[in-house]
Amino acid sequence: MSDHAHRVDHQDWDTLTPQLLLEALVYELYHPVSLLGSQLKRLTDDDDPLSEDDYEAIFAQMHGAVRQLSKTVVHLKRYTAERKKD
């Protein structure tokens, strides 16, 4: 990932060039998608039995990742809707 990719406040997306928006979007998506993949693997891996607390922690993390992805999608929809107006 490029050095200048960083978390951008979603309110500032409208001021970004398409290239900078793509970099910010990759940054926004990478962590929750990675977390979901690794936690799903933990849930389906038979080699490492999980405790009840483990399950609760995994589902809480997965819920947080889905919430973050949902917010990013909403902001992206707003961004694209604003671009259609221009």
Single-letter amino acid, residue 17:
T
HSE toward the beta carbon, residue 77, CA cutoff 13 A: 6
Question: What is the C-alpha to C-alpha distance for residues 21 and 60, in angstroms, rounded to an integer?
Answer: 29
CB count within 10 Å of CB 28 equals: 22
Question: What is the C-alpha to C-alpha distance for residues 74 and 77, in angstroms, rounded to an integer?
Answer: 5
pLDDT of 8 strictly over 80: no
pLDDT of 7 strictly over 80: no
Q: Is 0.85 surpassed by the pTM of this model?
A: no
Query: Domains of the chain: which residue ranges?
Result: 10-85
pLDDT of residue 30: 95
Nearest partner of 28 among 65, 62, 83, 56, judged by Cα: 65
